[in-house]
Structure 1
């Protein structure tokens, strides 16, 4: 029979063994930073991604999500990818152009007219896939492309034509193509992080901002800039990226698992955003916003110099390649 002392030692040993076994099986935490609010589509897709990663890696990895810019705004999150401070982020393609300037060309105005055309461009454009393949040497890589939609305006005064823009200051993120497009339309531009925009409009520092409907709804920009003008001037999806250091730490099986999770979360994101736009516009209208679709011709005419400017900066070859890819897709998949 064991004495009390022996039983105590056995119990302690069992507890220590159990703790060690638990530690051995504890999931490795991967940090995912984004700037969308908890109720937004990015958060919903991030939750799907996290669930799939845990499932497909048999619980070896736990993706912990930090929404609302808790860890960093978009440019800083991408820098943190390079430094190993975060493992995943998702942001507009133009946000990554600081590290690969040619990606600015995806933000040329009016490249595609429908979601389906945009998906084809991002999944199968030979030029764009070639550019994405250069990103690992920058410290991160694209896993899949999530959806945000087409960029449109929210302003505190009505915007019916480029003439109205001449009296307005427009917030832009640090992207030359977006800035050129805004300036050709007629706006004065002010660069600032998206996390500062709501207050800047409220304080009169800028008159508005441009983003997809999903972002406008999620970040509630329509509350301070209630005129929503659906120009759909730039298709603006969201590449999901992983730190290259994190990627290289995975086994081949875990790489396959994460890619599968990324593809399935992208399909979820695309379906969610495409099918939410009308509902979101209705909700914002009910809360006091005014939604309008202007005559698009004057906006298309105003931005024509952007293509020539892009060729001056990025070269005829690169610009012609993405324009040709986009034109072929529009021809093959005409808008209904």
Structure 2
């Protein structure tokens, strides 16, 4: 009798386990390279919470920060393979798979956050380019904020003349590389996860990223001169693996779109309103923050537009420049 009871108990436990498994959440992987205290992590947490809410707990978005799963280029490759379900990275990072996206990194396209949001949300050219991404294995759900790219260097950077002979880390993006070389830097391509140590060891003399990234990854500790050129607007498209996307029902797709929109609004508000406090905090920690005369930097990079026309075609480049000019006119900086 005892044997029968034990057998029934084991059978019941196994069946209960199968039932629990059948009802378990679908776990989705979200990879990014920001540190746990950064704005990307905060927005990723909002996205995960909203996904859980809007799908009534049927999906769990599990977040892997600080490059735990992959650096930016590798995470995007994993999107294509279905090894990662979501990632968020600078638009130029995706250009390896759709080269026209390099044009979003042309220097000095927009002057304010609001202009940048209008460009990313409503530019007809950019909408058309994003619509091509599912063909290469992933799609854009929304755009998060990172801000405008500026420099952190080991020595002062008051004008392009100070860049001559200095090594600047860049990510694998032609437009950023051309811009840095036009300013006067020698460029070194490396993953962002390697940059802190590379500056510390003298492999490079500095890097360029938005203030939020500079603060989160503590680049100011090894390159204390923060020069606010704001030379490229650099937001972060949130992307989903197309394989993952096609596994969702129509109702679930709408839930993920809604969660992505909520996280975008959160990210934009957080980053825009955190910049001054972040600069103050870094200054208190020993960073030296300055805003140079921008004219010489603008003049130095003027050749980049012609180089872009040669490589990507005048029609595409002029379309992007026209969209940006129209937005700047419609929404002038105050």
> Which interval holds the TM-score relative to the shorter structure?
over 0.9
Q: 163, 174, 178: which one pairs with 1:180? A: 178
2:48 matched to 1:50?
A: yes
Aligned residue number for residue 203 of structure 1:
201
Aligned residue number for residue 326 of structure 2:
328
Q: Residue 23 of structure 1 aligns to a residue in which SS?
A: helix
Aligned residue number for residue 115 of structure 1:
113
Aligned residue number for residue 276 of structure 1:
274
Shift >2 Å, 4+ stretches: 3-18
Aligned residue number for residue 265 of structure 1:
263
Q: How many correspondences in the alignment?
A: 334
Please report how far the alpha carbon of residue 50 of structure 1 lies from its aligned counterpart in structure 2 after TM superposition: 0.8
Over the aligned positions, Cα root-mean-square deviation in angstroms equals 1.0
**1:5-20 correspondence runs (5 A):** 5-20=3-18
**1:18-167 correspondence runs (5 A):** 18-167=16-165
- What is the CA–CA distance in structure 1 between the aligned matches of 2:310 and 2:220, rounded to whole Å? 36
TM-score normalized by structure 2? 0.98
- What is the CA–CA distance in structure 1 between the aligned matches of 2:312 and 2:82, rounded to whole Å? 30
- What is the CA–CA distance in structure 1 between the aligned matches of 2:3 and 2:205, rounded to whole Å? 76
Aligned residue number for residue 231 of structure 1:
229
- What is the CA–CA distance in structure 2 between the aligned matches of 1:224 and 1:244, rounded to whole Å? 39
2:281 matched to 1:252?
A: no
- What is the CA–CA distance in structure 1 between the aligned matches of 2:41 and 2:300, rounded to whole Å? 35
- What is the CA–CA distance in structure 2 between the aligned matches of 1:122 and 1:299, rounded to whole Å? 24
TM-score normalized by structure 1? 0.98
- What is the CA–CA distance in structure 2 between the aligned matches of 1:193 and 1:151, rounded to whole Å? 16
Q: Residue 62 of structure 2 aligns to a residue in which SS?
A: strand
Please report how far the alpha carbon of residue 5 of structure 1 lies from its aligned counterpart in structure 2 after TM superposition: 4.7
Please report how far the alpha carbon of residue 10 of structure 1 lies from its aligned counterpart in structure 2 after TM superposition: 4.1
Please report how far the alpha carbon of residue 15 of structure 1 lies from its aligned counterpart in structure 2 after TM superposition: 2.4
- What is the CA–CA distance in structure 2 between the aligned matches of 1:221 and 1:149, rounded to whole Å? 16
Please report how far the alpha carbon of residue 168 of structure 1 lies from its aligned counterpart in structure 2 after TM superposition: 1.1
Please report how far the alpha carbon of residue 207 of structure 1 lies from its aligned counterpart in structure 2 after TM superposition: 0.5
Q: 293, 300, 309: which one pairs with 1:302? A: 300
Unpaired segments of 5 or more residues in structure 1? none
Structure 1 residues 230-239 or 13-22, which shifts more?
A: 13-22
